[in-house]
Amino acid sequence: MVAQDQPMEKSSILTPFNVITSIILFVGVILMFLRFTRGIGAVTNLDNNNPWGLWIGFDLLCGVALAAGGYVTSSACYVFGLKRFHSAVRPAILTAFLGYALVVFALNFDVGRPWKLPYPIFVSQGTSSLLFEVGLCVFLYLTVLFVEATPAAFEWLGFKKLRTWVVRLTLVLTIFGVVLSTLHQSSLGALFMIVPSKLHPLWYSGYLHVYFFISSIFAGMSMVIFEGSMAHRWLHDKMDATHLAQSDGVVLGFGKAASFMMMGYVGIKIIGIAVDNNWHYLSTGWGAWFLLELIGFVLFPAILYGMGAREKNLTFIRIASLWTVLGIILNRLNISVIAFNWQLPSDLRYVPSFMEVGTTIFIITLGVVVYKFIVTRMPILYEHPDYKEEH
């Protein structure tokens, strides 16, 4: 493998992928420089009425939701004993780890004094805040994910003893991961429970934490499917027979499960409207937007998932996964940016600046580059020959 790779990489340094990523990374570094020398105000459209923008709405909220594949897959495999998901665990854990690492990286741009980010954990604990819970859980979960991801690196480096030691902790780590994920996934939603006066009633609910938790599960599943199909297209040569053989099963299994969860989610969202008696809002413009999100980006992909699972049509499921991911992004942006401050006159509303969008693209690109670096080197999509058949 290694011998084959080297000449290939040499001849292909000027691929479109490499050119585009280097441009993005270059621009990103400039934006980063601007942000830290001229201040947040110089690069963002944030203001006193709109303290949270794209960097929180997308980088934090969507990032965390879409990185839920880690705990969903590892718990399916190790806790619920669905061994056929085994080959999906490593890529999912890796994506989750990278996802969370990037979320924390992105937070450094957004908060005013990033060097104080350890403060809520080590200096002054604001336990009454849901953001404290989010911060603590993300910090702990990032550590858990890091440990969970190390076996691949240890195999790559040949540290057999360390690897065995970590692998023995799998179950404990998985359960710990599920607890932490449940807490911070739901707390991210609960962050907005403090602002009934700012978030549109159709999105505001006393069940926000439940919505966020449930949606994180199918977000994670969809991301595993979506990421899997991307990897199949671009990194097919890195996959071993087990991975290839199991991957269809993973797609079908998660597709079916996601379909069920999404139907349930639509159900509890409707219950939420009924509980708060918000029906009359549905006939407004905001209502149409809300229905677009709930029907167009949850119910429809759920149906497509169901059809794909019944007819064993992988293409349907792959399309549904991308659709669902977009739906999750729409939902998180609605809650944090679009339906937030809905009562403000339009000239006071927030629209992200190009530099904010640029920074977000920079961070995503960084993630893709690091992912590619790792999967082309470490045993992620295949099993290391020395450790086959022992799990």
Partner 1 sequence: MAISRRKFLGCITAALGTTTGAGALAHAASNKDFTGYPDSFGVLHDSTKCIGCRKCEQACNEVNSLAKPGKPFDDLTVLDQKRRTGEASYTIVNKFGNPPVFAKTQCNHCQEPACASACFVKALKKDPSGAVTYDESLCVGCRYCMVACPFNIPAYTYNDPLTPKVTKCTMCLPRIKEGKLPGCVEICPREALIFGKRDKLVTLAWEKIDRNPDHYFKHLYGEHEMGGTSWLYLSQVPFTKIGMREDLGVTSAPKLTSGALGAVPIIVGLWPVLLTGVYAISKRKEKIAEEEQESAVQNAKDLASQEMKDQLLKLSKKMTKEKETAIANGVKKALVEVEEAAKKAEQAAADAAEDATNPETTSDDSEKEEE
* Segment 182 to 211, residues that bind partner 1, using CB under 8 A: 182-183, 186-187, 190-191, 193-198, 206-210
| Closer by beta carbon to partner 1, 226 or else 254 | 254
Nearer to partner 1, 336 or 365 (CB): 336
128 binds partner 1 (CB under 8 A): yes
DSSP secondary structure of 181-235: HHHHHHHHHHGGGG-TTTB-TTT--TTHHHHHHHHHHHHHHHHHHHHHHHHHHHS
Please tell me whether residue 296 binds partner 1 under the rule CB under 8 A: no
What CA–CA distances, in Å, run from 57 to 200, 332, 340? 16, 6, 11
Residue number, 137 or 378, with CB nearest to partner 1:
137
Nearer to partner 1, 24 or 43 (CB): 43
Shortest Å, Cβ 101 to partner 1: 19
Is residue 388 within the footprint of partner 1 (CB under 8 A)? Answer: no
**Least distance in angstroms from the C-beta of 330 to partner 1:** 20
Residues 6+ apart with CB under 8 A from 107: 59, 60, 114, 117
Indicate the residue among 190 and 329 with the shorter CB distance to partner 1.
Answer: 190
3 state SS of 345:
coil
Phi-psi region of 379 (alpha: psi -120 to 50; beta: other; left: phi over 0): beta
Helices 130-157 and 86-110 sit at what angle, rounded to 10 degrees? 130
- Sole residue written with tokens 């159900």: 267
Count other C-beta atoms under 10 Å from residue 17's C-beta: 13
Q: Is 168 in the site for partner 1 (CB under 8 A)?
A: no
**Of residues 119 and 373, the one with the C-beta less far from partner 1:** 119
Cα torsion 219, 269, 330, 341 to 10°: value is -140
Query: Rule CB under 8 A: is residue 105 a binding residue for partner 1?
Result: no
Is 228 an interacting residue with respect to partner 1 (CB under 8 A)?
no
Q: How far is the CB of 335 from partner 1 (least distance, A)?
A: 12
**Residue from 54, 102, 106, 257 in contact with partner 1 (CB under 8 A):** 257
Q: Alpha helices of the chain — where are they, by DSSP H?
A: 2-11, 16-38, 40-43, 54, 63-66, 69-74, 86-110, 119-122, 130-157, 160-168, 170-190, 208-234, 241-276, 285-291, 300-310, 314-333, 354-375
Span 237-256, contacts to partner 1 by CB under 8 A: 253, 256
Q: Does 361 bind partner 1 (CB under 8 A)?
A: no
Is 364 an interacting residue with respect to partner 1 (CB under 8 A)? no
In contact, 380 and 152? CB cutoff 8 Å? yes
Q: How far is CA 92 from CA 87, 98, 145, 323, 371, in A?
A: 9, 10, 10, 19, 11
Query: Of the candidates 7, 16, 81, 385, which one interacts with partner 1 according to CB under 8 A?
Result: 81
73 binding partner 1? (CB under 8 A): no
| CA-atom Rg of the chain in angstroms | 21
> Residue 60 CB, nearest distance to partner 1 (Å)?
10
Query: What's the Cα-to-Cα distance from 174 to each of 141, 224, 335, 370, rounded to whole Å?
Result: 10, 17, 30, 24
Does residue 125 interact with partner 1 by CB under 8 A?
yes
Among 146, 159, 260, 387, binds partner 1 (CB under 8 A): 260
Q: Both tokens of residue 160? A: 């057999």
Contact status: 280 vs partner 1 (CB under 8 A): no
Q: Give 251 or 378: the residue with its C-beta nearer to partner 1.
A: 251
Q: Is 41 in the site for partner 1 (CB under 8 A)?
A: yes
Given the complex with partner 1, which of 205 and 229 has the nearer CB atom?
A: 205
Q: Which residues contact 93 (CB under 8 A, 6 or more apart)?
A: 70, 73, 74, 145, 148, 149
Indicate which single residue of 19, 20, 23, 42 sits in contact with partner 1 (rule: CB under 8 A): 42
Q: Is 161 in the site for partner 1 (CB under 8 A)?
A: no
The least CB distance from residue 276 to partner 1, in Å, is 13
We find the least distance from the C-beta atom of residue 229 to partner 1, in angstroms, to be 22
